[in-house]
Amino acid sequence: MGLSSAMQWWEEWQLRILVLASCFIQYVLFFSFWVRRVPLLRRLRVLVWVAYIAGGAVAIYALAALFNRRKQTCDGESSALEILWAPVLLIHLGGQPLISAYSLEDNDLWKRHTITLVSQVTVALYDFCKWWSGEKILLTAAILLFLLGILKFANKPFSLRSSSFNSLQSFNTRFILPQQQEHGFEHSLEEYVQEAKKCVLEREACSQGWKIESNYMFADLSASYSFRITQLPYFVKLDHMHAYNALHACVADTFNGLYCKIGSIETYLNLRSFVLFSFLALASLVLFTKSHKDGYNEKDITVTYILFGCTTALEFFFPCLVISSFIPYCVSVNQKYNVMSNDIVSQYNLVSFCVRKKKPTLMMKLATFNFLRQFINKHWYIEHVPRAFQVTGVVRQHVNHGWKNYIYGAASYRRFNDLQGQWALRRHHQLGWSLKKPFDQSILIWHIATDLCFYHPNTSPQCRQEEGTQCSRDISNYMAYLLLIRPES
């Protein structure tokens, strides 16, 4: 096949390939939720990033190709079905409910997505109104798809704006202030310490389920002492297992609110809108099935069936997923999955990275560009260990010990919160200089020191397996991971 034949084939199939590729990317984005949450699938996250970037680009390029194609060819019936693909591309631009943002910075780009919404909806409607020549049944199907596409696309910038840092702070402020007004007065620090200490000393272990009401602590927003004291009595009464599950439920809710549209559909009205989306897609598929297709291109008919069928199935996946969360068997499976995924602690060991504990892979050898080599070289040494439950237990014991034996008033409460390792250096005051460094430098110094002590010749293999020793190293590696790999955290 010569160059001219290849170009002719591409001109014929370009739009079909683009719309089918856009549909495939939407399926990748829908199932990317589990790739992002399951540690065993972390190597596939680069595909999620590519799909997230390519999803909007391919759909916009397909709309532009549709506009140019209709402008160049006005041959009527042979390509009339192509104009039905415009609202489907708008649906694809709306994205999937299980991924609204790939990183925190994406939430601040909601204004850009609003401009994209206006421009692409205008182009799609212009294309449709100028070149539509089909029957009334197909026209009805197209109107339903346009309604679905515009609603879904409009929901995207709204979800991003709701998950932005400023909106999160504003929402949490509106949530906490009524809690303060409910009490009629504001606790002082001394009053809070005394009541909190009483709660800790008088607590009785229980396993009653409890969930943190607000994610204010993840927005750098300091809650009032009155609000804290309303939450503390319920939390301290939980045994370690149920307290651990409550914290992870809060973290999962925060993840959904920041990176998914789930946070914006928890209200009854928004949940109903997602059910409406499903039936709009189904109605358009039924109308297209009943319409007359004589004279249309067979290949376009096949592509349209694929687009409508896959879009309808994708719109029904999410409501079915929500409904399945109330089925006992599915709830049990989901709990087992949460136990597996929530117990993972990311690890990054600077010493292992420097001595190249792992051999270079083919991917690292092929990374000829310096920035790509550094990226792969850095992320290849990330490990994940199932130690979150143990690490959380050690931290909780430390906090309980502080409340029982160290905190007696406001001054001791502040000193306890400012501890960075002073207790560990009670017998080694000459190392106090390491705590006077900037926080990031102190983390690196203590990280390297922890690793050297862990492998010191005087440390026996049996001692390395002790709970406290292993947890110390896990926490050290996790702090290095946050500093070097996730500094935005």
For the segment 228-245, what is each residue's pLDDT rounded down to a tens digit?
777 777 777 788 888 888
Residue from 22, 295, 278, 24 nearest 138 by CA = 295
- Amino acid 91: pLDDT: 92
Identify the bridge partners of residue 345 per DSSP, sorted by sequence position.
385
Residue from 242, 200, 214, 248 nearest 405 by CA = 200
Output the CA angle 8-10-14, nearest 5 degrees. 135
Low-confidence ranges of the chain (pLDDT < 70): 1-2, 70-79, 168-185, 203-223, 262-272, 325-342, 356-380, 457-467, 488-489
Q: How far apart are CA 79 and CA 302, in angstroms?
A: 13
- Amino acid 374: pLDDT: 61
- Amino acid 313: pLDDT: 92
Amino acid identity for residue 156 in this structure = K
3-class SS of residue 385: strand
- Amino acid 77: pLDDT: 43
Q: How far apart are CA 70 and CA 78, in angstroms?
A: 12
Q: Please, which residues have CB within 8 angstroms of residue 114's CB and are 6 or more apart in sequence? A: 157
- Amino acid 254: pLDDT: 78
